[in-house]
Structure 1
Amino acid sequence: MIKQIGAALFLIVLVGFIVYNEVGKEETDTSGELQEYDASGDPSQEGTSMTPPNAPSGLQVGDQAPDFELETLDGESVKLSELKGQKVFLNFWATWCPPCKEEMPEMEKFHNEYGDEVVVLAVNATETESNESDVDKYIEEEGYTFPVLLDKDSEVNNDYQAMSIPTTYFIGTDGQVQEPRKVGPMSYDFMIEMKDALN
């Protein structure tokens, strides 16, 4: 008899706890919107994914930029090592990434103004796209003219440890990373600073 009373009391307390929690949730969040949290601890980093604390930190200044060969949306082949002697902004992005979309007009403006001084390569994380045709459609609709490369198996994203996007590497004429990578959207003025910093 005592066991049955104890079990009944336990059940009542448990049900009460569940009801209390559910009512509390409804009262504290009536917006119906997703909550955003900064888990990075670094407010200057504005990527679209969280990176584990023990994850690789990417290529460092002075590292040789890993060579790769990818196709553009037009089917042309671009090999990074063939651009040695030129300054290169290597940008990793995706169509589903809001900060990427934020920086694209700035990149287009920069490309139009300084495309003869700096090669802008936008490497799409194609493996993460719902459909490869989404990339072509987005670029065409927005009228972007800088080269867009398709990283269909994420090999280049992995080589450059682009865990959060957008991520941009700044490669000098010597083929080395010459400035710290930028995680998050770039502004036009920031791109000019990076152009002037590279040699």
Structure 2
Amino acid sequence: MIKNIIAIISLIALSTILIYQNFWPEEDKQDGAMIVSPEVAFLQKGDQVNNFELKLFENQEKVYTFNTERNKPIFINFWASWCKPCRDEMPALEKFSNQYKEELEVITINVTETESKLSDVQAFLDEGSYTFPVLLDENSDVTNAFSVITIPTSFLIDENGILMEDTIKGALTLEEMTEMWERNK
């Protein structure tokens, strides 16, 4: 019953996003993060996350496999190309990724179902020359599994798939990312 309710809420939210994405003037969409039902339970520090597989944006023939038994912690960021806070956060995320690449893996997951077209994602990525992996969540399966209801949203996960911080909602600065990692490593 609860799964059905969550599925219905997710479907309504995604429908709202798609309607907004397709019918709202482009300039109005640039200022905010996606927000849906406040009834979703956010993941919290200490929660176990599940394994998943998603296509890599750079080579959609390849699949990235997230396994909860890893060699090092991982920072996961959910985003979309139309989301201004997401776009603003990306340069800091690139610096953070480069600064800690020996200790921490950084990946981003594009909430692809909310995009008008993949060429928008490509155009944005081309502007920044980002080196971290970009994964495509075409059906929002992973987005929903992580209870992501706003973007950007990030997660810091240890080598065993355990959240090291509560769900991190909103854009982060390089300083905030660094402080969070230094506090948890």
TM range (shorter): 0.7 to 0.9
What do the CA deviations read for 1:129-150 (whole angstroms, capped 9, x no partner)?
Answer: 0112221221122211111001
Please tell me the root mean square deviation across aligned C-alpha atoms, in Å.
2.0
Taking a change above 3 Å as real, the CA distance of residues 77 and 198 of structure 1, as seen in their structure-2 partners, is farther
Range moving further from structure 2, 77-86 or 156-165: 77-86
Q: Structure 2: 5+ residue runs without aligned partners?
A: 1-26
2-structure distance, mates of 1:190, 1:80: 25
In the other structure, the counterpart of 2:43 is: 59
Range moving further from structure 2, 65-74 or 93-102: 65-74
The residue identity in structure 1 corresponding to 2:45 is V
How many matched pairs? 155
What do the CA deviations read for 1:153-186 (whole angstroms, capped 9, x no partner)?
Answer: 1111011011100000110122111111211001
Larger Rg: 1
In the other structure, the counterpart of 1:118 is: 104
The residue identity in structure 1 corresponding to 2:83 is C
Give the match's secondary structure for 1:137.
helix
Alignment TM-score, normalising by the size of structure 2:
0.77
For residue 35 of structure 2, the aligned residue among 47, 50, 57 is 50
What do the CA deviations read for 1:43-68 (whole angstroms, capped 9, x no partner)?
Answer: xxx96133434x21321111111211
Taking a change above 3 Å as real, the CA distance of residues 175 and 140 of structure 1, as seen in their structure-2 partners, is same
2-structure distance, mates of 1:52, 1:141: 33
Taking a change above 3 Å as real, the CA distance of residues 197 and 77 of structure 1, as seen in their structure-2 partners, is farther
For residue 54 of structure 2, the aligned residue among 70, 73, 82 is 70
What do the CA deviations read for 1:24-50 (whole angstroms, capped 9, x no partner)?
Answer: xxxxxxxxx97xxxxxxxxxxx96133
For residue 143 of structure 2, the aligned residue among 140, 157, 162 is 157
Alignment TM-score, normalising by the size of structure 1:
0.72
Q: Structure 1: 5+ residue runs without aligned partners?
A: 1-32, 35-45
2-structure distance, mates of 1:133, 1:50: 24
